[in-house]
Chain A
Amino acid sequence: QTVVTQEPSFSVSPGGTVTLTCGLSSGSVSTSYNPSWYQQTPGQAPRTLIYNTDTRSSGVPDRFSGSILGNKAALTITGAQADDECDYYCVLYMGSGIWVFGGGTKLTVL
């Protein structure tokens, strides 16, 4: 069974840039996996950041960007702010109507 991999945790300094990745236990992520990214603060529902690899959802600041880097999908946050500190999830479309989420990355801004 294919596992979607994310860094369990990451740290960034305020104002800094961080790139979170989303990979596969076997194989490479491409745009055909339709990667999307979600932000979740404690006790809240997820918020959509990026879909279709690199399209920002409505109202999402351009500090957030999506791409394919090497064999993974990537979420880059530039000019990190204190309220970016939360959990980030990617999800990949595996075909045949099946989506698989990554385990999530806990981002610390300090």
Chain B
Amino acid sequence: EVQLVESGGGVVRPGGSLRLSCAASGFSFDDYGMTWVRQAPGKGLEWVSGINWRGGRTGYADSVKGRFTISRDNAKNSLYLQMNSLRAEDTALYYCARDYGGNWEDAFDIWGQGTMVTVSS
């Protein structure tokens, strides 16, 4: 079964850091680009970051550029999101999603169930 499982969410103070993980199974992880999408409570979806199949190309939304870093370990079938300098407005459910192709510029076909990040003092 094709599956994505996020982990690493939690409560963190403003200015703090958190590292999210996304474990992939049931498909050849290193064939696909991957993406992080978030959803603040009661709000819509927001694209956060994408990475190509090899990890050599990345992209970020302006709202997180310079604070978040996306990476992947194809040997571990895992995607990561390092989040630094967290702000209250980063509070959201974070989803990882698989792209249809090797980059993150096709569309998102498989989604995880999400991991919640709460930034609060």
Rounded to whole angstroms, the CA-CA distance of A104 and B59 in the bound complex is 23
Interface residue tally on B, bucketed by range: 20 to 34
How near does chain A come to B102, taking the closest CB pair, in angstroms? 13
Q: Which of B15-23, B73-81, B109-117 contacts A (4 or more CB under 8 A)?
A: B109-117
**What number of A residues sit within 8 Å (CB to CB) of B?**
26
How near does chain A come to B33, taking the closest CB pair, in angstroms? 10
Residues of chain A in range 71-110 having any CB-CB distance to chain B below 8 Å:
87, 89, 91, 93, 96-104
Which residues of the partner chain B approach A1 to less than 8 Å between Cβ atoms? 62
Residues of B in contact with A (beta carbons under 8 Å apart): 35, 37, 44-47, 50, 57-59, 61-62, 95, 97, 100, 104-114
Between-chain CB contacts (< 8 Å), 25 pairs: A1-B62, A36-B108, A38-B45, A38-B108, A46-B37, A47-B111, A48-B107, A48-B108, A48-B110, A48-B111, A51-B107, A51-B109, A87-B44, A91-B47, A91-B108, A97-B105, A98-B47, A98-B59, A98-B61, A99-B35, A99-B50, A101-B37, A101-B45, A103-B44, A104-B45
Residues of A in contact with B (beta carbons under 8 Å apart): 1, 34, 36, 38, 40, 45-48, 51-52, 57-58, 87, 89, 91, 93, 96-104
